[in-house]
Amino acid sequence: MAARRLSKEEGAKAALIADLEDRFGTTMGVRLTLLERLVRSRGAVPLALAWLLLYGAAAGLIVWWANDGRLPDGGHAKLASLLAWETVHFAVLIAITRLLTTQVLDIVRGDILPFASDRYAASVRTLLAERHASPHLRFLPPIVAAITLAASVWAIRAEIEPVWWTARPFPVDLLFWAASTLLLAYLAMRVVVTATFPRAFAAALEQDLHCLYPLAAADSPLVRGLARLDRTLLVFWALVFPVMASVMLLILPGERFGLASHSPYLFILIPIIGFFSLGVGAQVYLGSESAIGTAVRRCSLERAQALQREIVALIDGPGDEASLARLDRLTRLHDQIMAGGRYGSRFGTTVSLILPLVLPAIAIVEKLFGPDAG
Distance of alpha carbon 93 from alpha carbon 246, whole angstroms = 12
In a domain, residue 328? The reply is: yes
In a domain, residue 213? The reply is: yes
The H-assigned helical ranges of the chain are 8-24, 33-39, 44-66, 75-107, 118-133, 135-160, 163-166, 172-194, 198-203, 221-245, 264-274, 280-315, 321-339, 346-354, 358-369
In a domain, residue 147? The reply is: yes
In a domain, residue 204? The reply is: yes
In a domain, residue 300? The reply is: yes
The CA-CA-CA angle for residues 141, 142, 147, to 5°, reads 100
In a domain, residue 7? The reply is: no
In a domain, residue 100? The reply is: no
In a domain, residue 159? The reply is: yes
Residuewise pLDDT in 10s, the chain (374 residues): 333 343 444 588 999 999 999 999 999 999 998 899 989 888 999 999 999 999 999 999 998 988 878 888 888 888 999 999 999 999 999 999 999 999 999 999 999 999 998 889 999 999 999 888 887 778 888 998 998 888 888 888 878 777 766 666 678 888 899 999 999 999 999 999 999 999 999 999 888 788 787 787 888 899 999 999 998 998 898 888 888 888 888 888 878 888 887 788 887 777 777 777 777 888 888 888 888 888 888 887 777 777 777 777 767 777 677 777 777 787 777 777 776 667 765 555 555 555 555 545 444 444 444 444 44
Q: Which domain holds residue 259?
A: 106-369
Number of domains composing the chain: 1
Instruction: Please report the sign of the dihedral spanned by the C-alpha atoms of residue 279, residue 281, residue 285, residue 288.
Output: positive
Q: DSSP secondary structure string, 80-103? A: HHHHHHHHHHHHHHHHHHHHHHHH
